[in-house]
Structure 1
Amino acid sequence: MVRKAVIPVAGLGTRVLPASKAIPKEMLPVVDKPAIQLVVEEAVRAGIKEIILITRSGKEAIENHFDKHYEIEAELARKGKTAILESVKDILPSDVTLMAIRQPDAKGLGHAVLCAAAAVGTEPFAVLLPDVLVDCEEGETHDLSQMIENFSTESATQVMVERVADEDISKYGIADCSTAPAAGTSAAVVGFVEKPNTEDAPSNLAVVGRYVFPARIMDLLKDTKPGAGDEIQLTDAMDTLLKEQAMSVYRMSGKTFDCGNKAGYVEAVLNYALKHPETKEQTHALIKQLSV
């Protein structure tokens, strides 16, 4: 059973500067929730009970957001603002714990994940990159839940992918698999190619920032030498793991939004605003007005 999720939040957020100069990029609001809350909600919905944040100095606002705020709660209760009070109190369910571990040096994603080794122990775990929001429509398969189920039945690492346009292939790590999985299913993968040219790409299935790993990946990360950018790359450890055991790519059925860049962030805000009961009508009207 996968009960733990590692979420690396130590990045500088340079792609959304100056907004992230004094505010962690993960705390930028998507309508009325910071992006990191939507990522944590995704993990909780998939059955995760322990959230492990890999953080750094200056990111304390993320931890504070998931903590109790007695003054706000008392004032909302005094004024009878029950709905707002419940939204503040229920940010983290009572059966879910959250802890933060400092990444002392910026040594790459692989190093960030490795910082959680002691907290993960010998258990399998999920990794969620907070720049990416995964939104599933009502009635669709919850992608992370399905990845965890597939991991349990296949005993194989799961890597989420989505189909991208040919012109965007060179922006992503691309999966090499003999059979392309249908949406909501997984297929065996033989390797990954980092940012290939379109004509050299083995597929159009791009890695999008959700993984389910066995604890073994931590041992491999400990032995992984610095690679591209003189950083410890998660993909290098994955390549080693793939030589030892089966690995699958899971093709998502939902939609992703890359909040790590300005255009993706704006797209995410519009998408969630169109679903929020307090903003959907005004947002529809605004889009209609701007499209005239």
Structure 2
Amino acid sequence: MAKEKVQNLLVITFEKKKTGRPNIPWEIIKLIRRVAKENKIWGATKLHGLLLKLGHTICERTVSKYIPKPPPNTKKRISWKEFYLLHADAMIVSDTFTAYSSNFKEIFRVVFFLHLGSRQVLHFDIHTNPTTKWMRKVLKFAIRKQKQAGKKFHYFLSDNDSVFGKRFTKYLIRFGIKHKKTSFHSPWQNCYAERWIKTCRNEFLDFFIPLNQFHLEKKLEEFIHFYNHHRTHLALNKDSPIPSPVFIRPPDGSKKLVSTPVLGGLYHIYSYKKVA
């Protein structure tokens, strides 16, 4: 009995008492990280003020402890994805790709201009030996079509191809357009243009052999018209770049579904017409 009393006395005497502030609940930590992720430009002071507005009485040092540390170079805070999202409605992306004639004797270079916000292909052109002078001419048509479509155009994004060189940049400045170039060997920075090239190859060029440049121009124009007006996009809530009408299915069978072939039947456009 005396031994147990001695043990209890030792436990009470030497038991470590927890000191300092209480632990922050995990839910609060997750909330701090969430608002920091959703407001990347803000520091601990502004985030702390936001959390106070949300009814959480925590100190600023706690907020500072759980938010990610800012990068040393503040100019690199905004990622490429965020840059795209911020300027999508005022940006044109462009790139070139090659296509071959049926006898493989001609190599065609195709250039296109894609409005990032709407995913609409504004203009394209084809040449066997593209130059900066030719690119400037093509750009004029793209700007004209951009104005007709009512699209803003303040940024032009391209890779480091020679046709997008210094003279082309100076030409853009005359129109009040800023030329942004990707880093060398970084095609992912122009991902939307690269994705359109993949779409064009997978959904058009893989099923088509151009006989000559005129043949390629006509068929590519037909595909781009279909792409802009009828092909649905997940990023556009399954609408087309130029919004297409949504038909109401006739309940009484008074109308029938009619299909119109595109590109020789590779695709079809659908509509309802009254039954005769």
Q: TM-score range by the shorter chain?
A: under 0.3
Higher RCO (CA-CA < 8 Å; seq separation 6+): 1
More helix by proportion, 1 or 2?
2
TM-score normalised by L of structure 2 = 0.28
Q: If you compute each CA radius of gyration, which structure gives the higher value, 1 or 2?
A: 2
TM-score scaled by length of structure 1: 0.27
